[in-house]
A and B are shown apart, each in its own frame.
Chain A
């Protein structure tokens, strides 16, 4: 049963990390332009020295 003392805080911590990531994503505008992100992958960058 002592393993619970480790696993429960771990589960909570992982949940909190997920929650924190979501808050950060919303604050930093990750959801501002969902269609644009899908389109941008198609832009050929002319300045790319390949």
Chain B
């Protein structure tokens, strides 16, 4: 029923696959529309939507170019972008490996438990011995397979003469298995196979949760549309154009840049007059006029008319590359951050090792045999091996990341949450962060109902930034577009169409000096729609909520000083303008030296170094690719509130993680004396382990409501 729609292409057709991201998919209708619509295109063999990843995979003949497919998707009413070559494959493989290990450990644990329960229930003699042998047969391959992630990580740590949480885990599991095997062979009363496998199962659950959280956030970020130029239409000698990706552009190529498109390389305009939006590079919200002969830079967006540009510098030589270099340097400081669990492990691992050795030596000295002393040492290792500690952090972080995801905030990893909880100062960029960064009509009151329907029908046919802003604003008011058949877009001179025999048009104003505006023409009647870059709708509430959390805020912008200072006065925030990327970074370094932990919120390329250099950073979903990659989290939508919610949720997470650690440590305080006294049986170990893990998970689930907005 829902299978991709096959088209008969003949037996000889060779199909190639292309992938596109379509962020606008929201419902079953969208899936059906895209799959059916693309399936009906001649040359398309099959189209399959992945709704979770907001992607569509198209299998088509080689004659059909990706550009044509993009055009077809746009005609269906969706914005689409080329998807990069399966960038998630590596993360995905990691998650899959952990999940497989988890499944194997779960299988082993259940079967061994089945046998162990009979032994605990009093099975003796031959039966017990047989059950121990069967347990061993299951446990050894299971441990060899499911334990690999821990053994590998422990071996890596030992090679560099360090220790991490995986070292006591690996030693405990291997010793317990070896000892149990010895006991089984000699007909001993107790075997710890169940404990060892259960330990692996709980720890793998923590790891798998952590990996899934990261994979989900990455997939979400990938699904956002990239505004940066990822390539360009190169004009060939014969006048035809072909798409060349950014890294293959070379100096002296001539590229055609349509209105609404971003430049992928630095260059010089050789034909056409337009204006460029450089807010990604400089933070200035007003577009710059650019004429034939002017220099233009990669990362800026062509706003009004198509131009031909001769490439002067591409890929690593562009102005952006300098910013990338600054970012690399700035990112160094963050990699020195040590995560909470690792900090705990640094204290914990040596303590566990010395306790186990002390138990062994102590019991030998007290006159116990080597075998009994070793059994006790192993039970100390197993009982202190932190199932609960291994789950304490990931369980809490996964729950809160899921809650934040529903509120439109994607956290890349758990370390970001930990750092976010420490923040005491927030620095905002202006354009695109406190404001939307895209033009919206100032007052829709100039249009009556009919005009709105016509304006929406025209505007939604174009990718020009003004059209997109107008269409978005009109859709918010609940306007439904009229059906227009013949819409024509002439680059630079607007959109025209026919409606009930009258010609209507959406055109730029004749007087170029007016700034951002367009005119709606209906039967010669002219209505001017002015545009501006509006603030995010919940800006005052978000800033008040931030202040209530005891966090200071300030604005660092690349825009003109006068504009930024006026903006800051209105919001009652300290503001500094005309800052270069290096200035922003220097300011962050100064604040760090004063002992502040900073959160940077910014979107432009010029914020990249600051995003990488700040203690923690968040970028809006509309940000440049570079910024989204540098930031620790990305928030989507028009509201700023997710940033404040994230801060609040991170602090709650820190509190819950501390409680979890306290619970786990409390359990150890009770269990360790018993283990040292040699009173821990496999049954007791299994019960204690499950109960402490369940308590920690249950405590973490309380965070599910952490991201709820509290009414102030």
Interface residues of A (CB under 8 A from B): 1, 4, 8, 11-12, 15-16, 18-19, 22-23, 26, 32-36, 39-46, 48
B50 at the interface (CB under 8 A from A): yes
CB atoms of B99 and A26 under 8 A apart: yes
CB atoms of B31 and A39 under 8 A apart: yes
Inter-chain CA distance A19–B108, complex, in Å, is 10
B107 at the interface (CB under 8 A from A): yes
Chain A interface, DSSP helix/strand/loop, else mixed? helix
CB contact under 8 A between A11 and B111, given known A36-B51, A39-B51, A40-B2: yes
Interface residues of B (CB under 8 A from A): 1-2, 27-29, 31-32, 36, 49-53, 96, 99-100, 103-104, 107, 110-111, 114-115, 127, 134, 138
CB atoms of B99 and A39 under 8 A apart: no
CB contact under 8 A between A26 and B100, given known A11-B114, A42-B28: yes
The residue of chain A having its C-beta at the shortest distance from the C-beta of B35 within the complex is A43
Inter-chain CA distance A32–B110, complex, in Å, is 27
Which chain A residues lie closer than 8 Å to B32 at the CB level?
43-44
Inter-chain CA distance A7–B242, complex, in Å, is 67
Which chain A residues lie closer than 8 Å to B29 at the CB level?
42-43
CB contact under 8 A between A15 and B2, given known A23-B100, A36-B50, A40-B31: no
Inter-chain CA distance A32–B104, complex, in Å, is 21
- Shortest distance in angstroms between B27's beta carbon and chain A's nearest beta carbon? 6
CB atoms of B51 and A15 under 8 A apart: no
- Shortest distance in angstroms between A21's beta carbon and chain B's nearest beta carbon? 10
Which chain A residues lie closer than 8 Å to B134 at the CB level?
8
- Shortest distance in angstroms between B29's beta carbon and chain A's nearest beta carbon? 8
CB atoms of A16 and B107 under 8 A apart: yes
**Smallest CB-CB A-B distances: 7 pairs:** A36-B51, A42-B28, A39-B28, A43-B32, A33-B50, A35-B52, A40-B2
A-B contact pairs, 14 of them (CB 8 A): A11-B114, A19-B107, A22-B103, A33-B49, A33-B53, A36-B49, A39-B27, A39-B28, A40-B31, A40-B51, A43-B28, A43-B29, A44-B32, A46-B36
CB atoms of A12 and B111 under 8 A apart: yes
Inter-chain CA distance A50–B107, complex, in Å, is 45
The residue of chain B having its C-beta at the shortest distance from the C-beta of A22 within the complex is B103
Which chain A residues lie closer than 8 Å to B27 at the CB level?
39, 42
Which chain B residues lie closer than 8 Å to A43 at the CB level?
1-2, 28-29, 31-32
CB contact under 8 A between A32 and B100, given known A42-B28, A43-B2: no
Besides A11-B114, A43-B29, 8 new A-B residue pairs in contact (Cβ under 8 A), listed by A number: A8-B115, A15-B107, A19-B103, A23-B103, A32-B52, A33-B50, A39-B31, A41-B28
The residue of chain A having its C-beta at the shortest distance from the C-beta of B102 within the complex is A22
CB atoms of B2 and A45 under 8 A apart: yes
CB contact under 8 A between A15 and B52, given known A22-B103, A36-B31, A40-B28: no
Inter-chain CA distance A33–B29, complex, in Å, is 16
CB atoms of A33 and B107 under 8 A apart: no
Inter-chain CA distance A21–B91, complex, in Å, is 23
CB contact under 8 A between A34 and B110, given known A26-B96, A39-B31: no
The residue of chain A having its C-beta at the shortest distance from the C-beta of B99 within the complex is A26
Which chain B residues lie closer than 8 Å to A40 at the CB level?
2, 28, 31, 51
The residue of chain A having its C-beta at the shortest distance from the C-beta of B33 within the complex is A43
Inter-chain CA distance A19–B29, complex, in Å, is 36
Which chain B residues lie closer than 8 Å to A44 at the CB level?
32
Which chain B residues lie closer than 8 Å to A23 at the CB level?
100, 103
Which chain A residues lie closer than 8 Å to B50 at the CB level?
32-33, 36
Inter-chain CA distance A46–B458, complex, in Å, is 29
CB contact under 8 A between A18 and B107, given known A33-B50, A33-B53: yes
Inter-chain CA distance A20–B31, complex, in Å, is 31
The residue of chain A having its C-beta at the shortest distance from the C-beta of B5 within the complex is A47
Which chain B residues lie closer than 8 Å to A15 at the CB level?
107, 110-111
Which chain A residues lie closer than 8 Å to B52 at the CB level?
32-36
Inter-chain CA distance A40–B51, complex, in Å, is 9
Which chain A residues lie closer than 8 Å to B110 at the CB level?
15
Which chain B residues lie closer than 8 Å to A4 at the CB level?
127
- Shortest distance in angstroms between A1's beta carbon and chain B's nearest beta carbon? 7
The residue of chain B having its C-beta at the shortest distance from the C-beta of A8 within the complex is B134
The residue of chain A having its C-beta at the shortest distance from the C-beta of B92 within the complex is A32
CB atoms of B127 and A1 under 8 A apart: yes
